[in-house]
Chain A
Amino acid sequence: MNIRYFAWVRERVGVEEETIELPPSVVTVADLIGHLKTIDDNHAFAFEDEEAIRVALDQMHVEADAELGDAKEAAFFPPMTGG
């Protein structure tokens, strides 16, 4: 799955995007976050406060309990501050 990061989440992880092979046990967005946290210290730091992270699957906002289904891209970012 293609994973993208924005704003301070991107800075903490240290990459803009990456492709990750997911184990079958990863079903929901929350599972995915749990999996990403195990990759390394940077990922663990980025997802330290899960409440502060927003998620989009294939460019649509979703909540942490959403199933990944056949989504091709997940994106993680802080609450939006445009306008």
Chain B
Amino acid sequence: MAVEATVRVQAEDFSAQSEMDTLTAGRQDVGALVSFTGLCRNEAGTLAALELEHYPGMAEAELERIASDALKRWPLTGLTVVHRYGKIQPGEQIVLVVAASAHRRAAFEAADFLMDFLKTRAPFWKKEHFVSGKSETWVAAKADDDADAERWIAS
């Protein structure tokens, strides 16, 4: 049976454990479960909050496209992507990727691939609010992130 990814874009927080439980519930064919959770850093105490803007509709569609690419590339038994938007405080969760497979390599690689393309293709933007009251600034995209995504195209 074709595996379908679960993709959600939401303001609410999520539980990594409950998303993992969903991917393994009632199954005995899952040998590997890899999860990645991205959190909001406080940037040495300078950051008051991150404001995440997204393009409603396209954010979901793009995550679906990336997840579907991963499902074609690796033999996964399940894949979940959750990305939050809105104001997020330091210490809070931003993003979750969970990949399930019979074997560890596919699960590790799929989760890594998902994050690389999510960062460079999914329409989300971060604005930093500072503790000092200094005016807000948009986070600039990193060339490293593009390079990370490029390596999957070469391989």
Which A residues contact B (CB, under 8 angstroms)? Answer: 4, 6-8, 56, 59-61, 75, 77-83
Contacts and interface: CB of A to CB of B under 8 A. Distances in A.
8 contacts: A6-B125, A60-B61, A61-B121, A78-B141, A80-B124, A82-B83, A83-B115, A83-B118
A56 B123 contact: yes
Nearest to B119: A83
Contacts of A6: 53, 55, 123, 125
Given A6-B125, A8-B138, A78-B125, 20 more contacts: A6-B55, A7-B125, A7-B138, A59-B55, A59-B58, A59-B62, A61-B62, A61-B121, A75-B58, A77-B123, A80-B124, A81-B119, A81-B125, A81-B141, A82-B54, A82-B83, A82-B124, A82-B126, A83-B95, A83-B124
Interface residues of B, number: 27
Interface of B: 38, 52-55, 57-58, 61-62, 83, 94-95, 115, 118-127, 138-141
B55 A82 contact: no
Contacts of B122: 80, 82-83
Contacts of B54: 82
Contact of B127 (A7, A60, A82): A7
A78 B127 CA distance: 12
A79 to B, nearest CB: 3
Given A7-B127, A59-B58, A80 B53 contact: no
The 9 tightest CB contacts between A and B, nearest first, are A82-B124, A79-B141, A7-B125, A59-B58, A83-B119, A81-B139, A81-B126, A8-B138, A82-B122
Contacts of A82: 52, 54, 83, 95, 118-119, 122-126
